[in-house]
Amino acid sequence: MPAIFNALPGLEVPVGAISKSLAKMWSDTAAKGGPAPANDDAKATQVNFVLHLGLSCTPEDAAAQFYTAVEFSRRYPSRVVVLCPLGDDAGATELRSKVYGECFLGKSKGDTRCVEFVMLSYPLAAREFLENQVSICLSTDLPLYYWAHRFTDTARLADYRYLLTRARRVLLDSATAPADALTYAWPRREAVRDLVYARLLPVRQSLGQFLSRYPMDVLNSGLKSVIVSHGAEAKAEARVLLAWVKERLDNCGDTRAYFSCIAPAGISPGVLALEFTYDGQKKFSWKGDFRAGHAAFVADFGSGRAELSTALSLLTPEAALSEAMFF
């Protein structure tokens, strides 16, 4: 079904005339008095960005990710290609394309920036022609970033080796990706970034800043267990948080603590919590609720009880993209 392609905005054009159609789109917009690039400087593209929508993506989800890419491109002007695959039984045999453009103000009133999108709908039978078409749409002298969203089979992505090997970063969201996505033998494993990890940046920073006031040996000495608890809406974040805490503690020295991720009965959907237990009187806990937007620390490492309340949030989708791409 071409549902996700149809759900995206833009003007449908012949695949062989994408460049001409983009130019005509801007000239028509300008003729009607709409915002259009006055010169090439208005399209100061910084990166190539390919958003690959998987077969399990709904039209609503496709539109949401498209506008996330738009918001990202407002900050980092991009040449964006959106790939919309069709199922094996879709019956289509040819590529279809749309073009979309948008202009917005930059850092100053006279600074106008314009971005261009190309949407490609393709049947799996025509996949062998896709690499050539994508390469034509991209700028040859800019880095490439590839975001695979809601793909159903990790192994099937191996068919897109051109994108996997050329991309500076391969982005995925382990909250919606197949279970083996993070352990799969990617062609360039070092380039893979998880958007769950990226959007947890405010949480990681808050925990790191609080715990950094204590010496490493104090944190590790007598540590028995590290438990991350989560509600239904924070399962992926809990898994990623636990792995991050374990890595940080291992870097502090040898630890034989028990690490576990649990979802207690009755816990609120947006809750994420972290607790250290020790042999002695030491204690540490952090608990946040993403729905409520706040979190609280409680700690006692032998120098007195400390309590702290803080705001809590995840990075916005477009900010998580930039975090995963560039850092």
Same-domain check for residues 154 and 274: no
Q: Which of 165, 195, 225 is the last residue in one of the domains?
A: 195
Nearest-Å Rg of the Cα atoms of the chain is 23
78-121 pLDDT per residue, tens: 999 999 999 876 667 789 999 999 888 767 766 777 889 999 99
Same-domain check for residues 88 and 140: yes
Same-domain check for residues 186 and 206: no
Percent of the chain, pLDDT > 90?
76
- CATH number for position 272: 3.30.360
Identify the pLDDT of residue 232.
Answer: 97
Identify the pLDDT of residue 59.
Answer: 96
Report d(CA 51, CA 246) in Å as an integer. 32
Identify the pLDDT of residue 90.
Answer: 61
Same-domain check for residues 146 and 213: no
Same-domain check for residues 50 and 153: yes
Low-confidence ranges of the chain (pLDDT < 70): 1, 39-43, 89-91, 106, 109-110
Same-domain check for residues 174 and 46: yes
Residue 327 lies in a domain: no
Residue 138 lies in a domain: yes
Same-domain check for residues 145 and 213: no
Same-domain check for residues 160 and 225: no
> Partners of 194 in the beta sheet?
172
> Partners of 278 in the beta sheet?
223
- CA geometry: angle at 64 spanning 128 and 237, to 5°? 95
Q: Where are the beta strands (DSSP E) in the chain?
A: 11-13, 47-53, 78-86, 96-105, 112-123, 144-149, 169-172, 192-194, 223-230, 258-262, 271-278, 283-289, 294-300, 306-311
Identify the pLDDT of residue 140.
Answer: 86
Residue 37 lies in a domain: yes
Same-domain check for residues 25 and 86: yes
Those residues with Cβ within 8 angstroms of residue 311's Cβ, 6 or more apart along the chain or in another chain:
293, 294, 295
Q: Which of 195, 218, 237 is the last residue in one of the domains?
A: 195
Of 160, 132, 136, 133, residue with least CA distance to 146:
160
Residue 139 tokens read as 């700028």
Same-domain check for residues 206 and 190: no
Residue 325 lies in a domain: no
- CA geometry: angle at 183 spanning 181 and 184, to 5°? 65
- How many domains does one find in the chain? 2
> Partners of 86 in the beta sheet?
123
Identify the pLDDT of residue 77.
Answer: 87
Residue 292 tokens read as 């409520």
Identify the pLDDT of residue 89.
Answer: 64
Q: Which of 195, 214, 243 is the last residue in one of the domains?
A: 195
Same-domain check for residues 109 and 161: yes
Identify the pLDDT of residue 111.
Answer: 73
Would you give the end-to-end CA distance of the chain in angstroms? 37
Residue 324 lies in a domain: no
> Partners of 158 in the beta sheet?
none
